[in-house]
A and B are shown apart, each in its own frame.
Chain A
C-alpha cells in the first residue's frame, strides 16, 4: 500500500516537470498556432546554463538560477524572432520543419561546445527526505511540487488577472480582432515565448537536480513527453497542459513500477493514441470547426 502511494508521489514529481514544459508548448500553440519543437531543447539550454553559472563561474545559487531563467527566456524570444516570425504566413508544415531544424541546431551547438559526453553536476537542492505515516518523500520531490504549484498559480493569475494576460487570451482567440483593439500582436507573441521558455528553464533546473548530469540530448525525451502531455490535455488549454502533465507522470511511474521499464514509453504513447481516437482534440481541448 505504502509503495503504491510512493509510486504515485514519484509520478506526481515527474508529472509536474512535464506539466511545466507542457505549459510552454500549449501557450505557444494557443497563440502562434504552431508546435515549437525546439521547446524541449530549452530545458537542455537551462541545464547547461546553470552548470556554467555555478560550476564554471562559481556564482551563488540564487543569482545563478535567475540568470539561467533569463538566458532561456532570451533564447526563446530570439528563436521566435529569427526562425518563426518570418514564417507567420507560411503553411504549418514549413513551420514545423523549421522548428525541428532549430531543435537540432540547439542540440548540436551544445554538443560542439560541451562535447557529447555527459557532465556530472551536483544538485543545488539539498533537502532531507520527510517521513509521513511510513511514507518517505524525498526532499527534491517536495521542492519540485512546491515550485510547480507556485509557477502554475502565478501563471493562472497572470493570464486571468493582468492586462498582458488578457492580451494573450485575445490574441489566441482572434489575432486580427486583437490587433484592431490596439494590441501589439508581435510583442504578445514574444512575451508568450519568453514565459514559456522561462518555465522550461525552471523545469530544466529541477530536472538536473534530480539526475545530476547534463548532456546535449537531455531535453529531447522529456520534451516529446511534455508535448504528448500537452496534446493529451488538449493543446492550447492551460489547465489541460497541467492535467495532461500530471496524468502522464503518474501513468509512466506506475507502469514502470508494475509492468515494465522498457514498455513504459510505449504505454505513455499508446495512451495518447487512444485518447486522440476518442477525443481528437484532447481531454480539455475545444473542437475547432474547419472553414473553407
Chain B
C-alpha cells in the first residue's frame, strides 16, 4: 500500500496510466469500427447502449453492496429519478430554449445525477440509524415510493409514460460516460475514502472506535452510487425516448443486483464483465429467453451456496481462488 501512495503523489502521466489511456482509445476505435462498419448486425449494434448503461448501474450498485456491504434494493428508484428529471429538462430545453442538443443533454445528465444524489441523501438519513436487513427494506420501500409517486404525478405522464424525449443517447456518449464512471469509481475505491468505506463493511464498530464517522461515510457511499445510477437513468431515457414507471420496478433493481453478485461483490472489473455477459447473452439465446429469469435465479442460489461451501474454502486455501470479502459486521448480528 505504501508504494501505491508514493506513486500517486508523483506525476499522473506514469506508465500504468498511459497504458490505461491507450486501452481506452483502442476500445473506442474498435467500437467505432464495429458501429460504423458492416461487421455487426443492426440488432447487435442496438445492444451496445444497454450494455454501457448496465455497466454504469452495476458498478455504482457495487459501491453500496460490494464495498460498503449494505444491500440496496432500490437502485432502480435512483435510476428513475435521474431518468425523469433529466428527460423533463431536455424536453423543456428543446421546446422552450435555443440550447444546442449536446449541451442540453450534458446539463440533463448532470441534473439527473444530482436529483438522484439528493434522493441518496434522503435515504442516507434513515441509513444513519439502521443496519443490515432493515436497510434493505428501507431502500426497497424508497424504490416503490418513487415509482408510485411518478405514477401519480401529472407532469411525468403517469402510467401512460413520458414520451417525446429527444434521442440523444448513442454509443459515443455511453462510452464516454462508462469511462468516466469507471475512472471516478475505481479511484474512489482505491482512495482513502474507499478504504474507509471498506473498513465499515469489515467491522463498523472497530471503524467507529478509531474515530471514523460511520454514518457520514455511509451517506457518502449512497450519494455517489445514486449519482451514477441517475446518470445511467438519463442515458436510458434518451435511448428509449419513452419512460414508464414500470421500467423501474423492483425487478429492475434485482436485475442489477444479479449482475453485481455474479460479477463478484467488491470487484469493479467483475461487474463490468458480468454486465456485458448478462446483457448480451439473453439476446444471443433468444430461444432460451423464456428460461432467462429461471437461470438467473438458479445462478444466484448456486453462487451463494458455492461461496459458503467447503469446496470454496479449500480452493481459497490452496490459492486457486481469491478470498472473498467477509462482511463480518453483518455477521455480528447473529449471536
CB pair A174–B300 under 8 Å, yes or no, is no
Task: For the complex formed, measure the closest distance between the CB of A245 and the CB atoms of chain B, giving whole angstroms.
Answer: 15
Find out whether the CB atom of B304 lies under 8 angstroms from the CB atom of A269: no
Q: How far is the CA of A189 from the CA of B257 in the complex (A)?
A: 28
Query: Separation in Å of the B14 CB from the closest CB of chain A?
Result: 37
Instruction: Say if the beta carbon of B92 comes within 8 Å of chain A.
Output: no
Query: CA of A236 to CA of B18 in the docked complex: distance in angstroms?
Result: 55
Are A265's CB and B148's CB within 8 A?
yes
The stretch of B137-145, B191-199, B230-238 in contact with A is B137-145
A187 to B152, CA, bound (A): 48
Q: Tell me the nearest residue of chain A to B294, going by C-beta.
A: A108
Q: Tell which of A33, A35, A83, A107 touches B301, judged by Cβ atoms closer than 8 Å.
A: A83
Q: CB-defined interface of B296-335 with A at 8 Å, one 1/0 digit per residue?
A: 1111110011011100000000000000001110111111
Task: Determine the distance from Cα of A163 to Cα of B143 in the docked complex, in whole angstroms.
Answer: 43
- Interface size for chain A: under 10, 10 to 19, 20 to 34, or 35 or more residues? 35 or more
Q: Give 25 pairs: A residue, B residue, CB < 8 Å, sorted on A.
A: A33-B333, A86-B308, A87-B304, A93-B69, A94-B304, A94-B327, A97-B71, A97-B261, A97-B300, A100-B257, A103-B297, A104-B294, A104-B297, A105-B297, A108-B291, A228-B141, A231-B134, A235-B133, A262-B159, A265-B145, A272-B137, A276-B129, A277-B126, A290-B333, A291-B335
Chain B residues within an 8 Å CB radius of A265: 144-145, 148
Identify 19 new A-B residue pairs, CB closer than 8 A, beyond the known A105-B294, A224-B144, A263-B149. Answer: A33-B333, A86-B305, A89-B308, A90-B304, A92-B331, A93-B330, A98-B300, A98-B304, A100-B254, A101-B301, A108-B291, A112-B290, A176-B335, A220-B250, A260-B152, A272-B137, A276-B130, A276-B134, A280-B130
Residues of A within 8 A of B145 (CB): 265-266, 269-270, 273
Residue in B65, B142, B293, B304 with the greatest tally of chain A CB atoms within 10 Å: B304
Once the chains bind, are B305 and A98 in contact (CB under 8 Å)? yes
State whether B152 touches A263 (Cβ < 8 A): yes
Chain A, interface SS category = helix
> Given the complex of chains A and B, what is the CA–CA distance between A231 and B134 in angstroms?
8
Cβ proximity bits A90-123 to B, threshold 8 Å, 1 near / 0 not: 1111111110111111011101100000000000
Q: Is B161 interfacial (CB 8 A cutoff)?
A: no
Q: Which residues on the B side are within 8 Å of A108 (C-beta)?
A: 291, 293-294, 297
Is B182 interfacial (CB-CB < 8 Å)? no
User: Once bound together, how far apart are the Cα atoms of A92 and B136, in whole Å?
Assistant: 11
| In the assembled complex, A180 has its CB within 8 A of some CB on chain B | no
**Residues 203-236 of chain A, each 1 if its beta carbon lies under 8 Å from chain B, else 0:** 0000000000000000010001001100100010
A93 CB to closest chain B CB, in angstroms? 5
| Neighbouring A residues of B137 by C-beta, 8 Å | 35, 227-228, 231, 272
Q: Indicate if A175 sits at the interface (CB-CB under 8 A).
A: yes
Q: Which residue of B lies closest to A105 (CB)?
A: B297
Could you tell me if B332 and A105 are in contact, using CB atoms closer than 8 angstroms?
Answer: no
Instruction: State whether B133 touches A35 (Cβ < 8 A).
Output: yes
A292 within 8 A of B: yes
